Structure 1
Amino acid sequence: MHPDGTTPGQIPASGYPNSMMGQPMPPSAPMYVSPRGRSVRSGEWSTNLCHCCDDPANCMITCFCPCITFGQIAEIVDRGSSSSEHSGCAAKGTIYGLLAMTGFACLYSCFYRSKLRGQYDLDEAPCVDCLVHFCCEACALCQEYRELKSRGFDMGIGWEANMDRQKRGINTVAPAVGHGMTR
C-alpha cells in the first residue's frame, strides 16, 4: 500500500497516477525499448533532451532548417488532420519558418510539445515546455522527433502513410519489454 492509501495500480483520489505524486510506477506500467536500447516506462521520454547526436541526420536538418523537423512532428501529432497528405507538414513548417523570423517560433512549437506529451503521457521534463523550447529549440525538436520515431513512426512519410503501414501490418515499433526477472 502507498502512503496515499492506494494499492499499486490504483489511481488515487487526486486523479494523478502515483508516479506523478512521487510514487514509483506499478510494475505493470507499459514499457518499450528506446532507440538507445534501454527499457522505457510510460511517462518517460525515450531519449534525453541533449541526445541530439543519436540521430545525426535529423540533428543536421534541425540545426539548419528546423521548419522541416517541426512540420514532420506537427503532421504526426495532429494525426494528419489536413485534407492533403503532406500539406499539413508543409503548411505548419511554413508557419514555423515565418514565425522563426519574428522570434516567436518557440511559442508555436511548445504547443506541439505539450500536445505530444498529452498524447503519450510523457513527463514535462526537464522543465516546462515553453522554457525547453525557448532555451533549446533545436534540442527540443530533435527530442520530439526521436520520440515519435521510437514509437514506430516513419517521420518522412507522414500520418496517412504511417496509418496505411499499420493497417497492412508493417510494424516498426520495438516490442514491449518486461520489467526485470520474475519467478
Structure 2
Amino acid sequence: MSDQKAAGGPIDNRDIDDWKNRFNKTMANTDKFTAPSPAGARPWGTDFFSCFAPVDLCLITCCVPCVTFGKTHHRTRKNGNMEGYEPINTSCLAFWASSCFGLHWVLQSMQMQDIREKYNLEGSCIVDIAKSCCCGCCALIQAEKESELREKEKGVVSSQYANEQMVAQPH
C-alpha cells in the first residue's frame, strides 16, 4: 500500500493534491471560462439527454451520484481500464462533501473540462457549469459514458454497461 494513501481508508493524498492543483490552475486562467472550443474539436459521442440508458448507470447516479463521479475520475485520471478502482474513493468523497454545501457543480464542471480537453471535445466552461447546475445527473452520466466510449476507442476498455442498446436479431 502506498504511503500516500491513508491506512485502510479511501483517501489518496495524490488525488487531493491533483484536485487542488487543477482548481488553482483553473482559477489562474480565467480566460478558459469564455473560450470557445478549440479548432478541430469533436462533438460529444454521447447525447446529454440519453441519461436513462443504461438503466443501471442511471439508477446508481441518481441514488449515489458521488460513486459515478469517482468512477469517471478514476477512468480519466488514473486507469482507463478501471484497474484498482474502488467505488468509495477520494473524488467520490470530495464530490459528496461539496454536495453538502451545494458546490458539487464546481468539481463536476472541472471534470467535464478535463474530459473535453483529454478527448478534444466541443464545449466551454460556461456550458459545463450550466449542465452541472441544471441537470447534474445527466451531466454525470454523459461524462461517464463519454469517458468509457473514448477509452474504448483507444482500445483501453471494453463496455461495462451491458444491454445499452439491444437489437433484435433475425432468426
Whether TM exceeds 0.5 here: the answer is yes
Separation of aligned partners in 2, 1:89 and 1:43: 32
Corresponding residue for 2:101? 102
Contact 1:70 1:141 in 2 (8 A): yes
What CA deviation, in whole Å up to 9, does each residue of 1:92-129 have, x standing for no partner? 1011111111100111111010011000011117x621
> Which amino acid in the other structure matches residue 142 of structure 1?
I
Q: 1:88 to 1:58 in 2, by over 3 A?
A: closer
Structure ranking higher on relative contact order (CA contacts 8 Å, 6+ apart) = 2
Separation of aligned partners in 2, 1:152 and 1:124: 19
TM-score, normalised via structure 2 length: 0.60
Corresponding residue for 1:172? 158
Structure label with greater radius of gyration: 1
Corresponding residue for 2:113? 114
What CA deviation, in whole Å up to 9, does each residue of 1:31-87 have, x standing for no partner? xxxxxxxxxxx611112111012211101110010000000011122135xxx9336
Separation of aligned partners in 2, 1:86 and 1:150: 18
Separation of aligned partners in 2, 1:110 and 1:147: 15
Separation of aligned partners in 2, 1:74 and 1:66: 12
Contact 1:75 1:88 in 2 (8 A): no
> Which amino acid in the other structure matches residue 55 of structure 2?
P
Q: Which runs of 4+ in 1 moved over 6 A?
A: none
How many angstroms does 1:172 deviate by?
Answer: 2.9
Corresponding residue for 1:34? none
Corresponding residue for 1:130? 129
TM-score, normalised via structure 1 length: 0.56
What is the RMSD computed on CA atoms of the aligned residues? 2.9
Corresponding residue for 1:46? 45
Contact 2:67 2:87 in 1 (8 A): no
Separation of aligned partners in 1, 2:62 and 2:103: 17
How many angstroms does 1:147 deviate by?
Answer: 0.7
- What percentage of residue pairs aligned between the two structures are identical? 22
Separation of aligned partners in 2, 1:152 and 1:172: 8
Contact 1:110 1:133 in 2 (8 A): yes
Separation of aligned partners in 1, 2:57 and 2:87: 19
Contact 1:74 1:89 in 2 (8 A): no
Aligned residues: 118
Aligned with 2:89: secondary structure?
helix
Residues 5-84 of structure 1 mapped to structure 2, 5 A cutoff: 16-17=38-39, 43-80=42-79
What CA deviation, in whole Å up to 9, does each residue of 1:1-51 have, x standing for no partner? xxxxxxxxxxxxxxx52x5xxxxxxxxxxxxxxxxxxxxxx6111121110
Contact 2:106 2:129 in 1 (8 A): yes
Corresponding residue for 2:85? 86
Aligned with 1:72: secondary structure?
helix
